[in-house]
Amino acid sequence: MNPTRRYLFSRGAHGLGIAALGSLLQKDLAAEGTFPNFTPKAKRVIYLFQSGAPSQHDLFDWKPKLAKLQGQELPDSVRQGQRLTGMTATQASFPIAPTIYDFQQHGQSGAWMSNLLPHLAKRTDQLTFIKSMHTEAINHDPAITFFQTGFQLAGRPSIGSWLAYGLGSDNKDLPAFVVMVSQGTGNLADQPLYDRLWGSGFLPTRYQGVKFRSIGDPVLHIQDPAGLDRPGRRRFVDDLAKLNEMKLEEYGDPEIGTRIAQYEMAYRMQASVPDLLDLKKESAATLALYGPEVSKPGTFAYNCLLARRLAERGVRFIQLFHRGWDQHNTLPKQLPNQCRDVDQPSAGLLEDLQQRGLLDDTLVVWGGEFGRTVYCQGKLTADNYGRDHHPRCFTMWLAGGGTKPGITHGATDDFSYNITADPVHVHDLHATILHLLGVDHKQLTFKYQGRHFRLTDVHGEVVKAVLS
Amino acid sequence: MRIHFAALWLPALTLAADFNRDIRPILSDRCFSCHGPDEANRKANLRLDTEAGARPVLAKIVERVTSEKKGLRMPPVSTGAALTAGQVDSLKQWIADGAPWQKHWSFLPPAKPVGWSIDALVQARLQREGLSLSPPAPKATLLRRVSLDLTGLPPTPEEAEAFLRDDSPGAYERVVDRLLASRRYGERMAIRWLDAARYADTNGYQTDAERSMWRWRDWVIEAFNKNMPFNQFTIEQLAGDLLPNPTRDQIIATGFNRNHRANGEGGSIGEEFLVEYAIDRVEATSTVWLGLTLGCARCHDHKYDPFTQREFYSMFAFFNNLPEKGKVFKYGNSPPLIQAPTREQESRWAVLTAAAESAERKFQALRPEVTRSVAAWEKNAGPVSDWVPKRKLLWEQGQPQSFDGKRAQEFGDIAPLGYYDQFTLAAWVKPQSPDGAILTRTSDKEEEAGYGVYLKQGKVQVNFILRWLDDCLRVESAQTLPLGEWSHVAVTYDGSREAKGIRLYVDGQEAKLNVVVDDLNQDFATKDPLRLGAGSGLRFTGEISGARIYRDALTPDEAGVLGTPRKLSDILASTNRSPAEARKLEWAFLDSYAPTGLQTVWREYWRTRDEWREYSATLPTVMIMQERPEIREAHILRRGAYDQPGDRVSRALPQVLAPGAQTTNRLQLAQWLVGRQNPLTARVTVNRFWQMLFGTGIVKTVEDFGSQGEWPTHPELLDGLAVEFMDSGWNVKQMLKTMVMSRTYQQSSRVTPDLLARDPENRLYARGPRFRWPAEVVRDQALEVSGLLVEKLGGPSVKPYQPEGLWAELSGGVDYSRDKGENLYRRSLYTYWKRAVPPPGMMTFDAAGREACVVRENRTNTPLQALALMNDEAYLEAARKLAERMLGEGGSTEESRLQRGFALALLRAPAARESNVLLASLHHYRDRYETDPAAATKLLAHGDSPVGSKWKQPELAAWTMLASLLLNLDETVTKE
């Protein structure tokens, strides 16, 4: 029997230090010394997923020449017969819908940004724009699944669970991969999300993302039931450990030891999660960074603040999903609200991380699952339009964590329809994120059904140009 | 920390290297991906997966894998896949032995070892390792093990006592027989089959709306319970529809390959998903029956096993020929489907069918009398008012109305018809303009949600719309209506959600319809009022009369009668009558003027027919397999992409498995799978049974028997079981009995440190199985020992406790609305499975996600499991009810009550030191709750079941904590 377990035998769970518990539970590759492959620039990721697909036309990728083409048919030379979704494929015409929002250049980098994102506009010199993102999927479910797992069909591990598996956690009281979800005020009947988006696929389930909830217990069953207080639960866990130790002595099955340790860990999680959520010690100045909604659980602002607190506590992969970006119609009515949800909190998060010296080793990623079309879906009028899905180009930005700030990578044509320079595929983005965390994306593999799978399948190139 | 198990059989210096066991795995894992079956990606024109390719270069292989030079080293240094020293030694040893080559083991037919038995083969192996079987498990332990294994539920303390008292020979065997005969057995066996079949209650994509496949699930339970031979079980599920004169049950069985996820997302491209569905069927079928990962050959030739991409698409061709759409209905089952009554419904349905048939026979028998009576009546008929069919008439506006292209008539919230409803919209129209709205429920904007009948450029157009273009249905008549003349228009819809469910009658004659869009996805009901002469921005110019809505699709005869231009009096007065006019006269007579006897028979005929139809519409359906009359072409898809078709392929089995076989349909495929000549199905199946009982398969990779799969720990045992399984006529119960009757199964599961070090995963079976029970068993056991379990076989899925908000958080839509009453306490296999948000109580304990076929059992040990068992409402309620049983059934002392709890949960008495801990705990909680009775009340409030009132609340609360301890014990959640 190994020394840790023998120790557990003789001392019982209460005498067990948290570090020992950690080593008992941790069987990830980091513990085996496999990863990181090289010195990482980033220790953790905060991924602000904008679910539904934000319009690059109205936020980042300004195409001034389109103003004159309002209502004209999208030239076939641009469309090149590319496939369209079933929602607009049978549409009789494809009139160009230029953005109605004002764009300005900001900061030393001179990055263009629309007036819908005034707070982020002030931070453009911290951002690394990628205007040449592209994906293969054309509908939400496959596209978001692709971004999360590197494959359009459900069943593979999510990026966060790959990293939890490869790099383990720096905090043994909290999961390595935490997910939070918020509903935007743009499109209220927006695309749904699915638990499998942060699932572990064929990796062991302990690597799956744990969703922190805004309704009820933040982690399922983390609260003691009504009628039982903390000392009562302590006594319970201690007595259970005594009984299980008797069984362990009798049967010698090390799984019993693990179970004792897991109950102890559960007890500790019950304490650390409320501490995480206790915002009383946050200063008014910090709270102000995130804007007025920061105190309202379930909002994007609140989740951004929690993201910082999780980052401070060493959680490896923190992923926020903000729904409401699917502007098929009435875009001018929806988009300003949707942008207001995320603008100040995203900017505030960057500022807060920077003030605490966390931005250097925290990679922040911001973007959706595809872009939106230059042509109008439905009826185009002077002040109303909608945009369908567009996988052929869209904009994302990165910040911190070893990225090169204040640059724009990649470019699109005058219609933001096709990429004209430096395309970045979803697999490339994944390879780059892993690289910043010190992981060679070709090395992080798992054998399943006879094959060595990896997040980037058989593709992916690190985008060197965005690295600092 | 752990000794890798391979160490147990790779002491290459003492044992001669066996090619299939020791060498092929090395070559496969390290070499085949560039030098294997995949021709397109083969490097240096070298293949090492065939003897012909490898033999000439044996020396070279060793040279290259050990080369010091980076450029020469294989596998290339950049892959980081270098061979270990042990692997190199094995290779050398094998070459030194003359490099004997074998076909991959699982592709050779299984051979029954002479005089074999499970115990003999396990013991022989143990002996080689200097080990032996452990002593038998204590009787109570064994009883709990076998009961939960075979039925998923524990025995009662009384059953345990009887077994403990029974020292006669055959006592254990009688228990096994009793368990196998229990109907709980079928439920237990169904659980893992549902994982393999990726069974769920929702579609799995995007909105993840409900579907209904539970009648297929109940078919599975029933098949296991009646011990349907596994070959028949296979054939019916894969190809029941192709059997001669298949029964309804045999067709329901084919739901197996319709359980896959299906996409109804607006904008999805149908062709793309048709391909995914067929691929999913190939993957599930090959994983479950062949234990092969054929899916790897979707994009290119298989990298490790001898399957080409062409062969993959030849298998695909068996499964792509359904009359189905790639974009399925967002809500509900999509065709092809079948009505699937439960057994109870079946008998009611049969009664109604018989009644309808008998009523029709009676009416037909009276036809001559009807004809005579009509003729007699005609001669003396006085003045008659006109007559139209009134059956199921929902609304009518009989008077002629003039419309000037501006005004319309509004009727409010009348006829809120939708998606699944059967109905008829009818009216007389005399248009003066070729465009206009006739009868609608929709807004005044173009192409908004709702239904309507219009004139468009003179053609009759029917719209059912939720969202224009991708969630709507439009058909229009081929002919145009004449302007300035009266025409009768009747549109019937049969609730099938498809364009082919719509019929148009003009002047009582069926008229040809052209389908413009056939993409209805969800209900199209609106709040807009019913209107005559307006809708979708159109107005009617001309006259409308006799507008009617029926709550049924009228029959062609009814539509004919309704569309007859002449009034009844005119028909009476004339001798020249069309068939429809003659029918109108006859029906009017039967309805209003016939003698009571005839009238009764006539009304009874319609009443029984309607009753049968209405009942039929309430029956559950199941999605099924069906063949299109014309075979849909199948092509190799380059890189697996739906829009990159390559060569056309026809249906065929992989050559390496079925050389020369002529297999042209799914039925033959299914028959081949369970034929003697297939080396895999029996092995793969008994291996899954073994996994269920022993925790790990004899081949650990239960889903992969290919060259990347793990070598069987006991190859002869696997073969012995496989051949016996086939010899027995694929008798599942008998196979399980053989396994649980073995000494190997019945051993004690205690382990010594030495044995643990030598065989941590218990792959040699020097001890009995010990591991945590699956998710379903953990919960069902808690329900049973607390007395909450409600046993009821089958039926629609149920919604037990689940924390609030889980669905709403992700979809922003409808939240989970949990059931009340007995549905809270049904066995877990009946729990509603929403793919986007699977039941957390199951997922926490490693249940398969039901996205795709899963056959490997997965077991983790996490803090989230501890939190669930301690704090989940379901387990708190079970603890309270168990406490009530301990207090109520356990006599009057603390000790005897504690003993009752142990007997219920663990079938044993507590040891003295366990009692000490538990009673001290009891006193502790009693003190706490007596000091704070309000806390006791709160603790007891979890769960819907009433709180026992016989005991003081602090006392019951203290015992509830004690019961919760029992339910949280490692022993309770563990197979021991």
DSSP assignment of B222-280: HHHHTT--HHHHHHHHHHGGGSSS--HHHHHHGGGGG-S-B---TT--HHHHHHHHHHH
Stretch 6-65 of chain A: residues touching chain B, C-beta under 8 Å: none
Contacts of B771 in chain A (CB under 8 A): 255
- Asked if A263 reaches chain B (Cβ–Cβ under 8 Å), the answer is yes
- Residue pair B925/B961 in contact (Cβ under 8 Å)? The answer is yes
Mean pLDDT, residues A372-379 taken together: 91
- Asked if A85 reaches chain B (Cβ–Cβ under 8 Å), the answer is yes
Which H or E run includes A448? Answer: strand A445-448
Contacts of A85 in chain B (CB under 8 A): 266-269
User: How far apart, in whole angstroms, are the C-alpha atoms of residue B516 and residue B925?
Assistant: 72
- Asked if B791 reaches chain A (Cβ–Cβ under 8 Å), the answer is no
Residue boundaries of the structural domains of chain A = 32-218+292-466, 220-276
- Residue pair A460/A427 in contact (Cβ under 8 Å)? The answer is yes
Give DSSP secondary structure letters for B754-796.
HHHHH-TT--S-SS---EEPPHHHHHHHHHHHTT--------S
Q: How near does any CA of chain A get to the CA of B562, in Å?
A: 37
- Asked if A90 reaches chain B (Cβ–Cβ under 8 Å), the answer is yes
Q: Which amino acid, residue B392?
A: K
- Asked if A172 reaches chain B (Cβ–Cβ under 8 Å), the answer is no
pLDDT of A288-316, one tens digit each? 999 999 999 889 999 999 999 999 999 99
- Asked if A323 reaches chain B (Cβ–Cβ under 8 Å), the answer is yes
Contacts of B849 in chain A (CB under 8 A): 154, 196, 199
**More confident position, B775 or A174:** B775
Percent of chain B with pLDDT over 70: 98
Mean pLDDT, residues B669-696 taken together: 97
pLDDT of B697-722, one tens digit each? 999 999 999 988 888 999 999 999 99
Of B700, B621, B969, B732, give the one whose Cα is nearest residue B859. B700
Half-sphere exposure of A324 (CA within 13 A, CB side): 23
User: How far apart, in whole angstroms, are the C-alpha atoms of residue B314 and residue B649?
Assistant: 6
pLDDT of B431-477, one tens digit each? 999 999 999 999 999 889 999 999 999 999 999 999 888 889 999 99
Stretch 451-470 of chain B: residues touching chain A, C-beta under 8 Å: 469-470
User: How far apart, in whole angstroms, are the C-alpha atoms of residue B718 and residue B694?
Assistant: 13
The DSSP bridge partners found for residue A114 are A103
User: How far apart, in whole angstroms, are the C-alpha atoms of residue A422 and residue A399?
Assistant: 19
- Asked if A421 reaches chain B (Cβ–Cβ under 8 Å), the answer is no
User: How far apart, in whole angstroms, are the C-alpha atoms of residue B968 and residue B962?
Assistant: 10
Numbers of helices and strands, H then E, in chain A: 13, 17
- In the predicted model, is pLDDT for residue B161 greater than 90? yes
Task: Read off the pLDDT band of A3 (50, 70, 90).
Answer: very low
Tokens linked to B434: 């070729």
User: How far apart, in whole angstroms, are the C-alpha atoms of residue A16 and residue A25?
Assistant: 13
What is the bridge-based pairing of β-strands B436-442 and B459-467? unpaired
Contact between B961 and A86 using a beta-carbon 8 Å cutoff: no
Contacts of B843 in chain A (CB under 8 A): 195, 205
The DSSP bridge partners found for residue A181 are A321
E runs forming strands in B414-555: 423-431, 436-442, 450-456, 459-467, 471-480, 487-493, 502-506, 509-511, 513-519, 531-532, 534-535, 538-539, 541-550
Contact between A139 and B267 using a beta-carbon 8 Å cutoff: yes
Q: What is the pTM of this model?
A: 0.87
pLDDT of B725-735, one tens digit each? 999 999 999 99
- Residue pair B589/B307 in contact (Cβ under 8 Å)? The answer is no
Query: Sign of the CA dihedral B78, B80, B84, B90?
Result: negative
Q: How near does any CA of chain A get to the CA of B260, in Å?
A: 12
Mean pLDDT, residues B372-390 taken together: 92
User: How far apart, in whole angstroms, are the C-alpha atoms of residue B223 and residue B221?
Assistant: 5
- In the predicted model, is pLDDT for residue A16 greater than 90? no
- Residue pair B563/B506 in contact (Cβ under 8 Å)? The answer is yes
Helix (H, G, I), strand (E, B) or coil at A51: coil
What is the bridge-based pairing of β-strands A177-183 and A210-212? parallel
- Please, what is the Cα angle at B554 between B467 and B367, to 5 degrees? 170
Burial of B244 (0-12, 13-18, 19+ CB in 10 A): exposed
- Asked if A246 reaches chain B (Cβ–Cβ under 8 Å), the answer is yes
Determine phi and psi for B772, rounding to 5 degrees. -65, 140
Query: Sign of the CA dihedral B628, B632, B637, B641?
Result: negative
DSSP B563: T
- In the predicted model, is pLDDT for residue B326 greater than 80? yes
Half-sphere exposure of B242 (CA within 13 A, CB side): 22
- In the predicted model, is pLDDT for residue B14 greater than 60? no
Q: What is the pLDDT of residue A28?
A: 61
Best mutation target among A145, A180, A197, A239 (most B Cβ atoms within 10 Å) is A239
The DSSP bridge partners found for residue A330 are none
Q: What is the pLDDT of residue A31?
A: 63
Tokens linked to B784: 């049973």
Stretch 348-387 of chain A: residues touching chain B, C-beta under 8 Å: none
CATH topology of domain A32-218+292-466: Alkaline Phosphatase, subunit A (3.40.720)
Of B306, B41, B637, give the one whose Cα is nearest residue A458. B41
Mean pLDDT of all residues belonging to chain A: 89
Picking from A138, A154, A181, the nearest residue to B810 by CB comes out as A181
Q: How many CB atoms lie within 10 A of CB B400?
A: 12
The DSSP bridge partners found for residue B515 are B475
Contacts of B861 in chain A (CB under 8 A): 255, 258-259, 262
What is the bridge-based pairing of β-strands B771-772 and B645-649? unpaired
Q: How far, rounded to the nearest angstrom, does the alpha carbon of residue B143 sit from its chain's CA centroid?
A: 32
pLDDT of B30-69, one tens digit each? 888 888 888 888 888 888 888 888 888 888 888 888 888 8
Contact between A141 and B709 using a beta-carbon 8 Å cutoff: no
| Nearest-Cα residue of chain B relative to residue A32 | B1
Task: Read off the pLDDT band of A424 (50, 70, 90).
Answer: very high
Percent of chain B with pLDDT over 90: 77
Q: A221-225, B391-395, B751-755: which range is least confident on average?
A: B751-755
- In the predicted model, is pLDDT for residue A12 greater than 70? no
Count of residues making up chain B: 976
User: How far apart, in whole angstroms, are the C-alpha atoms of residue A454 and residue B599?
Assistant: 75
Contact between B803 and A443 using a beta-carbon 8 Å cutoff: no
Contacts of A33 in chain B (CB under 8 A): none
Picking from B265, B862, B921, the nearest residue to A141 by CB comes out as B265
Of B664, B794, B221, give the one whose Cα is nearest residue B233. B221
- Asked if A259 reaches chain B (Cβ–Cβ under 8 Å), the answer is yes
Stretch 892-911 of chain B: residues touching chain A, C-beta under 8 Å: 911
Mean pLDDT of all residues belonging to chain B: 93
Residues with Cβ < 8 Å from B865, sequence gap 6 or more? A262, B844, B845
Task: Read off the pLDDT band of B202 (50, 70, 90).
Answer: very high
| Nearest-Cα residue of chain A relative to residue B929 | A227
- Residue pair B959/B871 in contact (Cβ under 8 Å)? The answer is no
Count of residues making up chain A: 468
Q: Which amino acid, residue B33?
A: S
Task: Read off the pLDDT band of B497 (50, 70, 90).
Answer: very high
Q: Integer distance in angstroms from the first to the last C-alpha of chain B?
A: 24
Mean pLDDT, residues A105-119 taken together: 96
Residues with Cβ < 8 Å from B845, sequence gap 6 or more? B772, B774, B775, B778, B865, B868
Best mutation target among B862, B898, B937, B938 (most A Cβ atoms within 10 Å) is B862
